């Protein structure tokens, strides 16, 4: 049992080391007027980007995916047509996510600090599924395995900052499986062909 705990501790430390080596995009939001702002994105390596804006109700109000890898992106946004309220500007570069909250009100646009997040790391090899995740928001997470839409296995993973686990899938029959790691408002999935 100590060997297994040691293995997962080493995996978690490795994940932190990997996280420092992945994409480190920067996203600046600079208000120009009460209704307009510049969104400037830079990334060390050329990569495809996804940029989206969600309202506080969870409705997507903007989405853009680059058709080719970019290192820089610059655009002036006109937020005049947005209702007054709170929004989240999300940037996704490979497995790295950067988000910034912003508010549109009578005074104009106010922008919050950026939050850097990483998608979980999944690996399936020799009938063992492993995953690691840096849970910055300390959300309560659930883990589930589905086969053709039917729930095969489900468990609570917890809300620790560093989460890692391994699952022996040798007793599952051959087929296509979908692994889902989810919280109240996030969902990550990984497909397995066994």
pTM to 2 decimal places: 0.69
Long-range contacts of 11-15 (CB under 8 A, 24+ apart): 11/130, 11/132, 11/164, 12/132, 12/162, 12/164, 14/132, 15/121, 15/132, 15/133, 15/134, 15/162, 15/164
Q: What are phi and psi of 95, to 5 degrees?
A: -95, 15
pLDDT digits (tens, 9 = 90+) for 123-181: 999 999 999 999 998 999 999 999 988 999 999 999 999 999 999 999 999 999 999 99
By the 8 A CB rule, do 24 and 97 touch? no
The answer as to whether 170 is a domain residue is yes
Of 80, 99, 118, the last residue of a domain is 118
Q: Do 112 and 138 reside in the same domain of the chain?
A: no
Q: Do 135 and 154 reside in the same domain of the chain?
A: yes
Domain count of the chain? Answer: 2
Q: Which of 31, 51, 56 is nearest to 109 (CA)?
A: 31
| Whole-number pLDDT of residue 106 | 86
pLDDT digits (tens, 9 = 90+) for 21-50: 456 889 999 888 888 999 999 999 999 999
By the 8 A CB rule, do 49 and 73 touch? yes
Query: How crowded is the C-beta side of 104, counted as CA atoms within 13 Å?
Result: 20
Q: Do 114 and 127 reside in the same domain of the chain?
A: no
| Whole-number pLDDT of residue 13 | 43
Domain of 82, in residue numbers? 25-118
Of 76, 95, 118, the last residue of a domain is 118
């Amino acid at each position: 049992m100590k060997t297994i705990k040691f293995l997962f501790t080493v995996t978690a430390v490795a994940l932190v080391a990997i996280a420092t080596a992945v994409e480190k995009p920067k996203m600046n939001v600079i208000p120009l007027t009460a209704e307009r702002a510049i969104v400037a994105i830079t990334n060390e390596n050329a990569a495809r980007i996804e940029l989206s804006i969600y309202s506080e109700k969870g409705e997507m109000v903007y989405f853009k995916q680059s058709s080719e890898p970019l290192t820089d992106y610059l655009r002036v946004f006109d937020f005049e047509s947005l209702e007054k309220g709170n929004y989240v500007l999300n940037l996704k570069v490979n497995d790295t996510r950067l988000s910034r909250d912003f508010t549109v009100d009578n005074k104009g646009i106010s922008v919050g600090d950026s939050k850097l997040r990483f998608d979980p790391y999944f690996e399936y090899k020799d009938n063992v599924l492993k995953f690691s995740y840096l849970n910055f928001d300390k959300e309560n997470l659930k883990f589930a395995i589905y086969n053709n839409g039917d729930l095969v296995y489900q468990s609570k993973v917890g809300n620790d900052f560093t989460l890692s686990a391994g699952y022996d899938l040798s007793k599952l029959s051959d087929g296509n499986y979908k692994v889902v790691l989810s919280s109240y408002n996030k969902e990550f999935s990984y497909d397995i062909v066994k």
